[in-house]
């Protein structure tokens, strides 16, 4: 529903980021009490949804687990000396043969503690997802800004390629690339970047086109600032909000895609088991009722993706004033 009182706040939202990018004025991050900064308003708006806050908390917990995996895991799942084949395929909660250890989430076919394997798997899945997203973000930002700022043939060429690429599903493009390139962490990151750059390029281009026609850019141009300064100090910061939203959602998509490709046997090599590979390993034992080898890594994957999507969903609503109905 639309209320008359809402209109000014919407305008304020659109204008607010421009203030921090005014030439010569450094953005003030910690102003006096009660003053509303874009960052504070975003944080307050974000906190309005408890679901999104829960998502953020869950994601931070998962991130902590991934970072601290070597410290908090009961076992190093890659160290074959620590594994005992006699412990293989134990049910969740079972004790190891020597009675020293409890496998809270069971063990896989090599006697590996699933809890530790999941902690390490999260590390790899998150690492691949985040680094692929950052690379794609950098590439997409560069190409999108170039398209918007240079225009003409450069614009046409970049956006045509992006259009054509976006008309094919991500999994198909990644599959083709991996079929040609082979396996490996670097290859899967290349495939994920190739899949994702177009989203950023498109988003940043449309944002940059809108921003470019605004007065502060005109003012910067009028001041005869160098083009690089206009692009990086004025245009880029103001194009970021929609890009951040896309990036959040794309991290989740990248993690899911990597897991899917690994499950299909096209992603990561068996020496670096991500969550997808763990699930794939358990698939063989699924039909004999040994559900835990696939089930728990899947829960971890799901929790990661859901938490990121919850945060992304709320960020989209907060950062996009048009959707605030």
Name the site residues for other proteins (rule: CB under 8 A): 1-2, 51, 164, 167-169, 171-172, 175-176, 179-180, 252, 256, 259-260, 263-266, 276, 279, 282-283, 286-287, 289, 291, 294-295, 298, 301-302, 305-306, 309-310, 313, 325
- Comparing CB distances to other proteins, the nearer of 132 and 235 is 132
Q: In the structure encoding, which two tokens stand for residue 239, read together?
A: 């194009």
β-bridge mates for residue 243, sequence order: none
**What are the residues whose beta carbons fall under 8 Å from the beta carbon of 287, sequence distance 6 or more?**
none
Instruction: For residue 185, give the H/E element and its range.
Output: helix 185-212
Q: In the structure encoding, which two tokens stand for residue 242, read together?
A: 């929609």
- How many whole angstroms from its chain centre is CA 203? 16
Q: How far apart are CA 222 and CA 21, in angstroms?
A: 16
Q: In the structure encoding, which two tokens stand for residue 211, read together?
A: 């921003």
- Comparing CB distances to other proteins, the nearer of 99 and 289 is 289
- Comparing CB distances to other proteins, the nearer of 96 and 260 is 260
At its nearest, how many Å lie between other proteins and the CB of residue 265? 7
Residues 7-28, buried b or exposed e (16+ Cβ, 10 A)? eeeeeebeebbbebbeeeeeee
At its nearest, how many Å lie between other proteins and the CB of residue 4? 14
At its nearest, how many Å lie between other proteins and the CB of residue 178? 8
Q: How far apart are CA 108 and CA 217, in angstroms?
A: 59
- Comparing CB distances to other proteins, the nearer of 133 and 238 is 133
At its nearest, how many Å lie between other proteins and the CB of residue 31? 35
- Comparing CB distances to other proteins, the nearer of 2 and 213 is 2
Nearest residue to 308 via CA among 296, 316, 320:
316
**What are the residues whose beta carbons fall under 8 Å from the beta carbon of 28, sequence distance 6 or more?**
20, 37
Q: How far apart are CA 138 and CA 197, in angstroms?
A: 8
At its nearest, how many Å lie between other proteins and the CB of residue 291? 5
At its nearest, how many Å lie between other proteins and the CB of residue 260? 6
- Comparing CB distances to other proteins, the nearer of 201 and 266 is 266
Nearest residue to 240 via CA among 141, 97, 123:
141
- Comparing CB distances to other proteins, the nearer of 236 and 253 is 253
At its nearest, how many Å lie between other proteins and the CB of residue 279? 6
């Amino acid at each position: 529903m639309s209320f008359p009182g809402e209109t000014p706040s919407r305008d304020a939202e659109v204008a607010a980021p421009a203030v921090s990018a005014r030439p010569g004025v450094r953005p003030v991050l910690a102003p006096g009490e009660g003053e509303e900064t874009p960052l504070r308003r975003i944080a307050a708006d974000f906190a309005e949804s408890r679901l999104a806050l829960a998502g953020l908390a869950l994601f931070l917990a998962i991130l902590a687990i991934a970072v601290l995996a070597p410290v908090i895991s009961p076992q190093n799942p890659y160290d074959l000396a620590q594994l005992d084949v006699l412990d293989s395929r134990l049910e969740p909660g079972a004790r190891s043969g020597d009675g020293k250890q409890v496998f809270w989430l069971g063990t896989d076919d090599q006697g590996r503690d699933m809890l530790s394997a999941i902690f390490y798997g999260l590390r790899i899945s998150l690492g691949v997802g985040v680094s692929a997203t950052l690379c794609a973000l950098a590439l997409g930002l560069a190409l999108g800004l170039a398209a918007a700022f240079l225009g003409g043939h450069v614009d046409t060429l970049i956006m045509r390629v992006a259009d054509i690429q976006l008309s094919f599903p991500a999994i198909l493009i990644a599959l083709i690339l991996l079929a040609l390139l082979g396996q490996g962490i670097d290859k899967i990151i290349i495939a994920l970047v190739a899949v994702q750059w177009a989203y950023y390029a498109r988003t940043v281009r449309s944002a940059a086109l809108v921003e470019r026609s605004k007065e502060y850019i005109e003012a910067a141009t009028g001041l005869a600032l160098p083009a690089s300064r206009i692009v990086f100090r004025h245009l880029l910061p103001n194009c970021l909000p929609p890009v951040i939203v896309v990036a959040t959602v794309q991290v989740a998509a990248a993690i899911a895609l990597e897991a899917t490709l690994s499950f299909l046997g096209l992603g990561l090599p068996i020496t670096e088991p991500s969550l997808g590979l763990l699930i794939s390993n358990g698939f063989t034992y699924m039909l004999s009722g040994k559900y835990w080898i696939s089930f728990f890594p899947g829960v971890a994957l799901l929790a990661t993706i859901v938490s990121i999507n919850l945060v992304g969903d709320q960020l989209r609503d907060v950062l996009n004033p048009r959707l605030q109905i």
